[in-house]
Amino acid sequence: MKQHMLLVAIVVALLVLLPTISVAETISAYLEGVSGSVDTWTGAAGEGWLGPWGTKKDTTATGLACALTNTSPLLADTNNYVKVDMDASAANSYGTIGRRYDRSSTGPAMDKIDVTQDYTISFLYRIDEELGAETTFYSSSVDRYQLYQSTGTALGSGSGTNSNWVISSFGGTNTAGYAGGGGATIPAGNWIFDEYKWNGTAYVAYKWDTGINATTVGDGTYAVQVTVHPDYTWDATISAGTASYTQTGMGFRNRALTGGYVEFLGRSSGSDDLRQFSVDSLVVVQVPEPSTLVLLLVGLSGLAAVRRK
């Protein structure tokens, strides 16, 4: 009788947990779909995406060419990817691509990421611009490549007050630590994680130097993973070959969980600059709550004990 009651209790517990477990969503953009499908360039709404991939450029005559190709995959076992060429015709030109995933702020829901729980955003990224002696990238900090998430409902023109998390590589030097507060110099081209920390009065910018430089990596592919927490913090890892850097518990710039745009941007300081990059395998995945996994494990362990008796 006791065994029967324990089994009933386990079944009830699993039924309670099932909605959370079953909608641990994965929203993916591998760019391998057929023409007109959700998972291609530019794609269509569906399967967790609120729309196709979008593009944006400044109001000058900047050229922004985006194309689906498989001529040089970002990794050996991948195929299609989107290649972006941003050809500047004026100083401070930019080009952005991005895609917006669907969200729920009221708990698990089909084809939506539950922002009340942790979730991860991962993608492959490559700088295709030649960063050798003839490059225009190292003219100033206006020159940049940026990867970020926006709270807006439309594509942006770079990181700003609408951004949650930001990963950047600048053409000029920066200062590690608090903005304007001194610290080690971050070399031009090094990838930087930006966060905002409370200093007792206000949230202030803080820069983490990853030590991974766009030039030393050359045309290698970066694997990036960001974990977003509902307490407005984020963890991130950027890897390229054997080089890897991880930082955890970083504060959002914009403490909101709205929007859902993951964006990729190139910006130039001159009228003859060319920013080039490629993106593939953008995936947003719900991370089940640890308590859910623990309860499930306890329940299964109890069931196994009952069966052994």
Predicted structure pTM score: 0.86
Q: Say if residue 177 is in the same domain as residue 141.
A: yes
Helix (H) or strand (E) holding 101: none
Q: What is the C-alpha to C-alpha distance for residues 193 and 166, in angstroms, rounded to an integer?
A: 6
**pLDDT over 70, % of the chain:** 83
Exposed e or buried b per residue across 114-143, where buried means at least 16 C-beta atoms within 10 angstroms of its C-beta: bbebbbbbbbbbbbebebeeebbbbbbebb
Judge if 306 and 206 occupy the same domain.
no
280 and 193 in one domain?
yes
Residue 307, number of CB atoms within 10 A of its CB:
9
> Do 161 and 33 fall into the same domain?
yes
Comparing C-alpha atoms, which of 221, 264, 223 is closest to residue 126?
A: 221
**Are 177 and 256 within one domain?**
yes
Residue with token string 């729980």: 117
Does 44 share its domain with 1?
Answer: no
Domain assignment of residue 267, given as a range: 25-287
Q: Could you tell me if 213 and 156 lie in one domain?
A: yes
* Per-residue DSSP letter, 138: G
Query: Cα 165–147–246 angle (5° rounding)?
Result: 65
Same domain? For 174 and 297 the reply is no
Residues 296 and 281 in one domain: no
pLDDT one digit per residue (tens) for the chain, 309 residues: 544 443 334 334 433 444 444 456 999 999 999 999 999 999 999 999 999 999 999 987 789 999 999 999 999 989 999 999 999 988 899 999 999 999 999 999 999 999 999 999 999 999 999 998 889 999 999 999 999 999 988 898 889 899 999 999 999 999 988 765 667 899 999 999 999 988 778 888 899 999 999 988 866 899 999 999 999 999 999 999 899 999 999 999 999 999 899 999 999 999 989 999 999 999 999 997 554 433 333 443 443 343 334
308, 182: one domain: no
Number of domains within the chain: 2
CATH number at residue 148: 2.60.120.870
The verdict on 148 and 19 lying in the same domain is no
